[in-house]
Amino acid sequence: MANPYHVWLSEIMLQQTVVATVIPYYAKFLAAYPAIDDLAAAPVDEVLGMWAGLGYYARARNLHACAKQVAALGGFPDTIEGLRALPGIGPYTANAIGAIAFNLPVLPVDGNIERVAARIFAITAPIPAAKPAIAHAAAQFMQDKAARKAPGDFAQALFDLGATICTPRGPSCERCPWRGACRAYAQGNAASLPARAKKPERPRRAGVAYVLLDKVGNVCLIRRPPSGLLGGMLALPEQPPVAARWRDAGEIAHVFTHFSLTLQVKLAVVPKLPPGALAAPAKTAPLPSVMRKALDAALNSIDDCV
């Protein structure tokens, strides 16, 4: 069976994030924290810095809190109830760890398995309204003998089926081992399922990011409040940190899950940063993606003036 630490770490990182983005972060975390005790012992600010750029930063805080609890317990619980009691672990993640690491008879229903279930049972209602029906349909997969014998292997086989054959666009139905049981294939509408309701347009927000640099390339930063947007992360100030000759350095756009943000970037260069300022080298500061965009815009504006 798989290492529960590895399964948990990958599943947390894969929430709302594509595999290609996760792979280098996953490798970096395992290199820095080979065991969950190593992650638990690390300072939370270090973990947040390692996470910078991966997004959805509450995950990083929950990751650290969960690691501390698991280390205190001496290992991951081997029941769904015990897993659900840990910070940041919901039904899907608990089922993924339970099935893959502990061979529990549960099915973690991700987007791939949702798609397979919607097509096998020809569920035509649009997501998200169809999610309860799809979850009920997916639960029927667990009646398969292979699922009862090896739930973890069965779940990963379904993940692979959805990722490689029953794909979102252009499914390879002729290669599918379940083609004969697929109602959507029989009806000729597999490629159109699952249907999705039209998403509302994201609200637009605007703000300002102040980039204060010193002569040796350090940037003045703040620490965001522990909860809320970019909670606990390093960031650029939203207000001028000092009185200085601020100039426009362009603007950047960034898309969050629920809104779009445009930041006007203001730049000033001073001989020294204010005493006690939180500072880091501008080119390597561990910043969230939106803040890195703003800082890079400021640095590029300096290069353009040279």
Question: What is the total residue count of the chain?
Answer: 306
Decide: 234 and 219 in contact? Cβ < 8 Å.
no
Q: Which of the residues 11, 46, 114, 174 is marked catalytic? A: 11
- Identity of residue 161: L
Annotated active-site residue 81? The verdict is no
Strands 260-270 and 204-214: parallel
Would you state the structure tokens that stand for residue 156, as one six-digit string? Answer: 């990963």
Would you state the structure tokens that stand for residue 299, as one six-digit string? Answer: 């640095």
Residues 95, 110: Cα–Cα separation, whole Å: 10
Decide: 254 and 240 in contact? Cβ < 8 Å.
no
Element (H, E) at 83: helix 80-84
| Alpha-carbon torsion angle 81, 87, 88, 91, nearest 10 | 10
For CA atoms 267, 272, 277, 281, give the dihedral sign: positive
Catalytic residues: 11
